[in-house]
Structure formats: structure tokens, C-alpha cells
A and B are shown apart, each in its own frame.
Chain A
């Protein structure tokens, strides 16, 4: 099977061209480098204008979520967990500080400081760092320099009735010929939500404050420096599916960059960025009196990095070379308190001061073979280094494991794209390695409340090696667009936890100890079919069906693979009024994985409706929206709801956005 796909891959690489056409507009070509990119430019979904980053990501076909509560969902790209994808903010690597994945990177930004989210599937995302599933790059808002002094702003507020979420988001930007600055500030506060049976789901509240700031200064006609900062605080966040909540998490994400453009040269752009970010995360179990043990579980990560890229363009080839380097230190502690508080506390590291360093050079090329066909190809080579300061923790389960480990992470991809009349076809393949994450390599008694095992990392894990093939076809006319996407991953040394025969649990809720090990291989297949149909000028229908299957070497099912899911949206516009209604749902989960702690999740269907009205207050564009999610108040939980926590029942939401 593996060889078949290699063959497939090379066939994809060597498909030849017929015609030639040069594109004059360099900007178009530069954009073409990011072809096959699912860039969502407006941070809103079909249904909802004011969305959280999570809700927005959820509207992508490739993304599904593990949900542990009402906040900070873990994005799964191509049905693979966050270890397998490179999640970055403007290309910067940021690492969550929670061993239990309570703080994916997406939880440290807010929709009003992002301009778009770029999702690349598979090895095409290798530019951002070694990956298997692909990359998710959260792009911060940028303000362009302007000839005239310009001053813009937006204010968004809203209320959601189910969880009494109240939010206020504000943006300002200022620009003139020399200076461009933007800032955002936001605050969200939500109480517990209620499920479809109108029962309150305890520990699902959250409070989030986020602010960001960016200053650009034009140093010459073709160059600029930029300073960026994002600061995020979440407090008193409930995780209904976990045995503990969050007391406080904070992230400070900063960067300084220098951009130089070139005119009339092969080199078009040179953009370099130095960045620093630090994340702290403090869990809190004092809200759970039922817990037998009181435990402090703080975590910290600190990352320094460098990004430098040049864009080149000559004739029909455009290239992007990117240097990606970072140094990360991840620390997580656990301190258990005995029932008799006068006794000594019990202490251990769950991440024993693990340093990760990565330096990678990547090359992405877009070659216009003919007026209607392109070849995108490229690759990267990274050096990945780990150092465990307190390696004696790792020696308990893996005596003699090395304190330092250096890995070489190569990656290759190619993709051929051809347009024939109304049809568009593409076929591609990829090959890439990824190193184990800090938890997979060096984690120590990390409690996973999903399968209720304590997880132990293995420093000697082999690289996960992915062979991937993808294909897509679309048909597009003025009225209709149909698009189908397929991808298939064959992953050698697929890392997963398996029950260890030695050791005994440390966390009282757990039932045993699992060690991260490598399966011989695993396979993953994802398919998506999209339909966009303009019934009339004012009436649009969108539909999506996705299917996925993941199997281990023994044809057993992998966990967290989305069952067949569907989404259909009908949109009607009447003057300044928009009406949207959608249904979405999953079928019954057939291919679930009891071996990895899953139970079968029944199917569900949710019906939603919203309407919005655009008007002007003193010449300021204003949009008011009101809608209902889960109109029928269906009680359901999805395949990826941790511990089968029920999702939100009927929710009436309102939002108001004023562009100042």
C-alpha cells in the first residue's frame, strides 16, 4: 500500500505540461504560492457574524474539535490531534502550557485581532514547521499605510442567551504615510450553558480578556518595521469534561519584524521576524469538592523564535524560501496535597523542563506550466532537538533514555493543478516526518480523563513518517459550484498511547498507565463534498458532506475520527436583510474505537436560523443580527465531546457591529 502511494506521489510530481503562460502581475503569482489554501478572510460563518475563533474554525471542512467544555476547543486538522499539526500565529510558534491540552493556541487569540486563518492540508503546511496533518496559521490584523491620515474603528457587542455570554469587542486603527497602528480589546464572559434537556452543564463558564497592539513604521519607500503584541487572559474557565478547571491562563505574544520589498528584481520580498512568547496556565480543582486529592498543576512555556522568508519570482516560477527557528522551554508541575494537610506534599514534574529547538529551511515553488495548469512543489528540512533537564523522571519508565535527542525532519510535497473549461482538477502527494511532542516524548503521568489513563512519554519514540496523497475536482459555473476533496495519509510509526504492564496510576481517577508507543502504521482517509448553488440571485444553497476513516495496523479504528457529517445552509437576501437557516449533524458513529476509550455516539441533527439587518447610524455601517442555534433544543453530544458532555441546547444569540 505504501509503495503504491509513493508511486502515486511521483506520478503527481512528474505530470508534464502543455502550454505556457506568464502572469504579469507579481502579486497574483505571489498569492498563487498559497494555492490550495483554505484561507477564510472574513472571520464570520454563514450563520453567525460574531463568532469565537473556535466557532470560526469549526466552519472549515478540515477541522473538527475535541471539546472539553465551553471554551478552548482543541482543533483537529484532517482528524488528527494538535501534535500532528503546526498551529502558529503569524507564523510564530506558541506552545500551550497545559499538559491536558486545555489551552490550544487558538484559545490565545480573539476574532477581532485576526484577519484570517490559513489552513493548509498535509505537507503543504510544512513551511510552518514539521507537520503531518497540515498547518493552521492565525493571521493577525494588519493595517496598511495610507496617503491620508485614516482613522478607523469597529465595535461589536452581543449577548447569547443560553450561557448568558456577553461580549464586547473593540478595534481601532490609525494610518498615515509613515505610521500604521492598530489595537484591539475584547472581553467575553459566559456562565454555564444548558443542554438540550435544559439541564445546566456545570463548569462550562468562562471569562476571557484579550488585547492586541501593532505598530508599523515605514523606514523607506519599500521597507517597514513592525512591532506586534497580543496579550490574553482567561480566568475562571470551567472544563466540564475534566476533573479540574482553570484558575488563570495568560499569554504574551510579541514580535518585531522587518519587511523589505524589492522592485524589478527576482527577489520580491524579504520579511524577517524575531519573536518571543510566554504562556502560563494554572489549573484549579478547588471548585470540585468531590475530588479526593487537591492538586496544583501549573504549567509554563517560553518560546523564542526567528522567521525569515524571501519571495522570489522569475518568469513563470515563483518561490518562497523560509527559515524557521525556535527555542521552547516547557515546564509543568504537579503537587498533590495529602488529606492530612500537615503531611508533606507530593511533587513531580509532568514536563520535566523540556527544551525543544527547531531550525528548518523550507522551499515552496509555484510553477505556471501553462495558462491553465500549475505545479506547486517544495519541501523542507528541519533539525529538531530535545533536551530534558530532569531526565531522571523519564528514566523511571525508560532507564537509560538519552537526555538529548536530535532528529532530522525532511518533508516534500507536490501538487499539480489543471483547469479545463469549468472543471478544475488537482492531484498531489507528500512525504514528511514529525518529531514527538513534549508530552509524547517526555510527559510524566499526564492524566487523560477521556480514557482515564495516566500517560508516560517515551524519549526514544521514532519520528512519525507520513505519506500522503490528495486529489480534488471541482466544477464551477455562475450558478453552481461542486467540489470534492480527498486525502489519504499513510503514517508510519503512528504515535498513540498503549497500556503499560508496569507502573501504577498516580492520579486517583485513573485506571492504569499508558505509554506513548508507535504503531507500525496507521491510515487516515478524509473526503469532503461541497455544493454551492445560486438558486436565484438572492437565494443561495450551500451543502457539505464529510467522511473520514482512520485505522491502525490491525484495521482497528483510531479515536476521534469524525463520522459522516453534513451541513446545509440556505441563505436569502432581501434588500438590507439577510436570512440564513442551516441544518448540520453527524450520523451515528459506526467506526468508533473502544480500544482507545471511545464509546459509540448516536447521530444528531441540529437546526439553526439567523437574520441580520444592515443599516447606518450617522453614516456608520451597522449590522444587527439575531439568531437561534439548535432551535429544536436537541440533546446531543458529538463523537469528540470529551466524556460525552452534552452540547449546548437552544441558544438565542444577538450581535451588533458598528464600523466607526
Chain B
């Protein structure tokens, strides 16, 4: 017997199932993936440079086993090649030097005397490379080791790669006090749409009092961490359609015990951001930087401070 209701209800059921299971809709964004595709985050230290000085084998480790432009945290181990034992009782100095095509030498902010870190068993320090290695610019590490008997030195060619993570960008500028300054971002490597602890190293070049006759003379390549400055922060999105968008609850960077400058930056969404800075010295004088307008100006790219670093995540 023909039962019309079966046909009707089967049709309806089919229609519901068809639409409910057809997948013409948009997938949800994988948020973790969204944050990491733009910026790989490196957490592992791997050997970037190795060399031997006399009886000592030296291994220098950096994140991802690569030295990049900008700030590099350095771990160095010294091994006595005859005993194959790591040593911790020697003084280690590190001097990065760049030679350009016309044989001029220069360097970047760095820690010359490395500290031995008892807890972790390595010498630690940092180097800020203002430029990468290329045909015209040739970087070398000059390493000195002083044990109870003597001071040994050696040099090693190194390769400085371009830092592709804009969150670790740096900037170099001449302050109003005519000193040469360097600001290099240290953290966060991989920012989130959140409150991010913003860490930067701020350094200045100490011009030598005398010209030198010996090479390499660390006095000619001397940098120091600036003390008790304040780095005022105003993060904004430069994209014209974002109309000079900013975020609330940011904190200016001030120096902490590790000599680095710490503050807070809030990123409200992913994309391009400009960190507008004003650097103020210990006496409250502006070294560099200008206030940026706070107006919301849709369609117009926001004005930048004369001191800024662009980031992207």
C-alpha cells in the first residue's frame, strides 16, 4: 500500500540531513597556528660557533644555532681538550668586530667580559649585531681566555643572519646628547593578543679617548648599558584603515636588575604594530623621540615618533 506520509517525511529528513551535513561553511581559525605561522619561536640553544684556543675548545650557543641581527643571548662553554673537562675558572672575553669593504672596523653592543653562570654551567653574555653578514660586511668574534698562566686569543669568522622576526627588531640612532644609542628588542619573541612583557636592551657607544695601535683593542669598541633611563612606550597600528589604533594599559620600560628594560605592551589584534618610543635619560631629559598624535584617524596612516620600532605578528 502506498503510504504518502513516508515519502513526505523521508524527503524532509533528507533535506535536513543534507543541509546539516553539507560543509559549505567557514572553518574556525586555529588560534595557536595563527600566532605561530608568522613567527617561529625559538627556545633551544644550539651551537652557532666553535673554535679552539690553545688547549681550550670553545663552543658558542645561540637560539636556533644562529646569530641574528639584533639582540643575541650567548652561552659559551670552554672545554679543556686534554682532559675533556668543562672549565669554569678562566676569564672569557668576547669582542665582535665587523670589517667592511674598505677595511673599516666597527662593532655592536656586547658584553665583553662573560659571566660564568654556576647554576647552568656556562658563560653567558649577549651581542647586538646592527647588521648582517654579507659580501661587504664581514663579522668575526675575537675571543680571549685568561687562565692562571696566560691570556690566549683567537678569532673566528661568524655569520650573522637577518632576523626575520620583527618582534626582535632593533634601531640605532644619534641622541640629542650626540651619543650613539642602540635599542634592541629581546622579548616577546612570539607576542600574543594579550598583555605582553616587553623587554629591550638599551645601549650606547662609548667613544674611545685615544686612537689605538693594537688590534683588536676593546677600548675602541666599547659599549655600555644605559642606566636608569626610561623608555616611554606608545604602541599603535600603522595600517591606514586602523586609524592610528592603540591599546590600553601599556607600561613604559624601566631598567631592572638584569640591566635590561622591562615594560608591558598590549597588542589588541595580530598584524603590524609600531612601538613609538621616547627615550628619557636619568635626568629626565629627552634623548630621542616625539609624542605621537592620539587621534583616531581612519584612512590615514598614523604618524610615528622619531624613535620607533616596527613589529609584526
Chain A: residues with CB nearer than 8 A to chain B? 151, 172, 174, 181, 183, 185, 211, 213, 215, 229, 231, 233, 248, 250, 252, 280, 282, 292-293, 296, 298, 300, 331, 333-336, 338-339, 343-349, 390, 392-393, 395-397, 399, 445, 500, 502-506, 508-509, 511-512
The answer to whether A172 and B248 have CB atoms under 8 Å apart is no
Instruction: Note all chain B residues with C-beta closer than 8 A to A248.
Output: 24-25
The answer to whether B269 and A300 have CB atoms under 8 Å apart is no
Chain B: residues with CB nearer than 8 A to chain A? 4-5, 8-9, 12-13, 15-16, 19-20, 24-26, 28-29, 31, 34, 38, 192-195, 237, 239-249, 266, 268-272, 294, 296, 298-299, 312
The answer to whether B194 and A172 have CB atoms under 8 Å apart is no
The answer to whether B16 and A231 have CB atoms under 8 Å apart is yes
The answer to whether B244 and A504 have CB atoms under 8 Å apart is yes
The answer to whether A343 and B298 have CB atoms under 8 Å apart is no
The answer to whether A506 and B245 have CB atoms under 8 Å apart is yes
A-B contacts besides A280-B25, A344-B38, A505-B243, 14 pairs, CB < 8 Å: A213-B9, A215-B9, A231-B19, A282-B26, A293-B241, A334-B269, A335-B29, A347-B34, A390-B193, A396-B248, A396-B249, A503-B268, A504-B244, A506-B245
Instruction: Note all chain B residues with C-beta closer than 8 A to A334.
Output: 269
Q: A174-B9, A396-B248 are in contact. Are A347 and B29 (CB under 8 A)?
A: yes
The answer to whether B272 and A343 have CB atoms under 8 Å apart is yes
The answer to whether A506 and B269 have CB atoms under 8 Å apart is yes
A46 CA / B28 CA spacing, docked (Å): 45
Q: A347-B269, A504-B296 are in contact. Are A213 and B16 (CB under 8 A)?
A: yes
The answer to whether B270 and A292 have CB atoms under 8 Å apart is no
Instruction: Note all chain A residues with C-beta closer than 8 A to B248.
Output: 396-397, 500, 502-503
A156 CA / B239 CA spacing, docked (Å): 52
* Contact for B20 among A231, A346, A347, CB less than 8 A: A231
A229 CA / B38 CA spacing, docked (Å): 42
Q: A339-B240, A395-B195 are in contact. Are A504 and B270 (CB under 8 A)?
A: no
A339 CA / B239 CA spacing, docked (Å): 8
A211 CA / B11 CA spacing, docked (Å): 11
A397 CA / B194 CA spacing, docked (Å): 9
* Contact for B299 among A331, A397, A504, A508, CB less than 8 A: A508
Instruction: Note all chain B residues with C-beta closer than 8 A to A174.
Output: 5, 8-9
Which A residue sits closest to B8, measured CB to CB?
A: A172
Report 5 cross-chain contacts, Cβ distance below 8 Å, ordered by A residue: A181-B9, A231-B20, A338-B239, A397-B248, A506-B242
B17 to chain A, nearest CB (A): 9
The answer to whether A331 and B243 have CB atoms under 8 Å apart is no
A2 CA / B114 CA spacing, docked (Å): 71
A390 CA / B32 CA spacing, docked (Å): 11
Q: Which 3 residue pairs spanning A and B have beta carbons closest together?
A: A392-B194, A346-B271, A502-B248
Which B residue sits closest to A506, measured CB to CB?
A: B245
Q: A231-B20, A508-B242 are in contact. Are A344 and B312 (CB under 8 A)?
A: yes
Instruction: Note all chain A residues with C-beta closer than 8 A to B195.
Output: 392, 395-396, 399
Q: A231-B16, A396-B247 are in contact. Are A343 and B239 (CB under 8 A)?
A: yes
Instruction: Note all chain A residues with C-beta closer than 8 A to B13.
Output: 213
Which B residue sits closest to A456, measured CB to CB?
A: B248
The answer to whether A393 and B193 have CB atoms under 8 Å apart is yes
Instruction: Note all chain A residues with C-beta closer than 8 A to B246.
Output: 503-504
Which B residue sits closest to A344, measured CB to CB?
A: B271
Q: A229-B16, A503-B247 are in contact. Are A508 and B25 (CB under 8 A)?
A: no
Instruction: Note all chain B residues with C-beta closer than 8 A to A347.
Output: 29, 34, 193, 269-271
Instruction: Note all chain B residues with C-beta closer than 8 A to A348.
Output: 193, 268-270
Instruction: Note all chain B residues with C-beta closer than 8 A to A399.
Output: 195, 249
A399 CA / B196 CA spacing, docked (Å): 11
B49 to chain A, nearest CB (A): 33
Q: A282-B26, A344-B272, A504-B294 are in contact. Are A183 and B31 (CB under 8 A)?
A: no
Instruction: Note all chain B residues with C-beta closer than 8 A to A183.
Output: 8-9, 12
Which A residue sits closest to B15, measured CB to CB?
A: A211
Which B residue sits closest to A173, measured CB to CB?
A: B5
* Contact for B12 among A213, A282, A395, A504, CB less than 8 A: A213
The answer to whether B15 and A185 have CB atoms under 8 Å apart is yes
A300 CA / B29 CA spacing, docked (Å): 12
Q: A181-B5, A339-B239, A505-B296 are in contact. Are A349 and B31 (CB under 8 A)?
A: yes
Q: A280-B25, A347-B34, A348-B193 are in contact. Are A396 and B266 (CB under 8 A)?
A: yes
Q: A347-B271, A445-B268, A511-B296 are in contact. Are A282 and B5 (CB under 8 A)?
A: no
Instruction: Note all chain A residues with C-beta closer than 8 A to B38.
Output: 344
B181 to chain A, nearest CB (A): 29
Instruction: Note all chain B residues with C-beta closer than 8 A to A296.
Output: 26
* Contact for B270 among A151, A211, A346, CB less than 8 A: A346
* Contact for B192 among A280, A392, A502, A508, CB less than 8 A: A392
Residue with the highest number of chain A CB atoms closer than 10 Å, among B31, B248, B272 = B248
Which B residue sits closest to A400, measured CB to CB?
A: B195
The answer to whether B19 and A392 have CB atoms under 8 Å apart is no
Which A residue sits closest to B38, measured CB to CB?
A: A344
A490 to chain B, nearest CB (A): 33
A503 CA / B270 CA spacing, docked (Å): 16
The answer to whether B194 and A346 have CB atoms under 8 Å apart is no
Instruction: Note all chain A residues with C-beta closer than 8 A to B28.
Output: 298, 300, 331, 333
Instruction: Note all chain B residues with C-beta closer than 8 A to A215.
Output: 9
A250 CA / B24 CA spacing, docked (Å): 11
Q: A211-B12, A213-B12 are in contact. Are A233 and B192 (CB under 8 A)?
A: no
The answer to whether B29 and A282 have CB atoms under 8 Å apart is no
The answer to whether B31 and A506 have CB atoms under 8 Å apart is no
Instruction: Note all chain B residues with C-beta closer than 8 A to A229.
Output: 16
Which B residue sits closest to A229, measured CB to CB?
A: B16
Which A residue sits closest to B239, measured CB to CB?
A: A338
A505 to chain B, nearest CB (A): 5
* Contact for A292 among B26, B237, B247, B299, CB less than 8 A: B299
A506 to chain B, nearest CB (A): 6
Instruction: Note all chain A residues with C-beta closer than 8 A to B192.
Output: 392
The answer to whether B247 and A151 have CB atoms under 8 Å apart is no
A345 CA / B312 CA spacing, docked (Å): 11
Instruction: Note all chain A residues with C-beta closer than 8 A to B24.
Output: 248
A506 CA / B268 CA spacing, docked (Å): 9
The answer to whether A390 and B31 have CB atoms under 8 Å apart is yes
A392 CA / B294 CA spacing, docked (Å): 24
A505 CA / B299 CA spacing, docked (Å): 13
B15 to chain A, nearest CB (A): 6
The answer to whether A508 and B26 have CB atoms under 8 Å apart is no
Which B residue sits closest to A515, measured CB to CB?
A: B248
Instruction: Note all chain B residues with C-beta closer than 8 A to A349.
Output: 31, 193
A339 CA / B298 CA spacing, docked (Å): 12
A242 CA / B9 CA spacing, docked (Å): 39
A445 CA / B193 CA spacing, docked (Å): 13
A461 to chain B, nearest CB (A): 18
A250 CA / B247 CA spacing, docked (Å): 34
The answer to whether B16 and A211 have CB atoms under 8 Å apart is yes
A388 CA / B16 CA spacing, docked (Å): 32
Instruction: Note all chain B residues with C-beta closer than 8 A to A338.
Output: 239, 241, 271-272
Instruction: Note all chain A residues with C-beta closer than 8 A to B5.
Output: 151, 172, 174, 181
A160 CA / B5 CA spacing, docked (Å): 31
* Contact for B269 among A292, A336, A397, A505, CB less than 8 A: A336
A610 to chain B, nearest CB (A): 32
A252 CA / B266 CA spacing, docked (Å): 38
The answer to whether A502 and B298 have CB atoms under 8 Å apart is no
Instruction: Note all chain B residues with C-beta closer than 8 A to A185.
Output: 12, 15
A502 CA / B9 CA spacing, docked (Å): 57
Which A residue sits closest to B3, measured CB to CB?
A: A174
Instruction: Note all chain B residues with C-beta closer than 8 A to A292.
Output: 241, 298-299
A395 CA / B194 CA spacing, docked (Å): 7
A152 to chain B, nearest CB (A): 10
Instruction: Note all chain B residues with C-beta closer than 8 A to A500.
Output: 248
The answer to whether B193 and A392 have CB atoms under 8 Å apart is yes
Instruction: Note all chain B residues with C-beta closer than 8 A to A181.
Output: 5, 9
Instruction: Note all chain A residues with C-beta closer than 8 A to B8.
Output: 172, 174, 183
Instruction: Note all chain B residues with C-beta closer than 8 A to A231.
Output: 15-16, 19-20
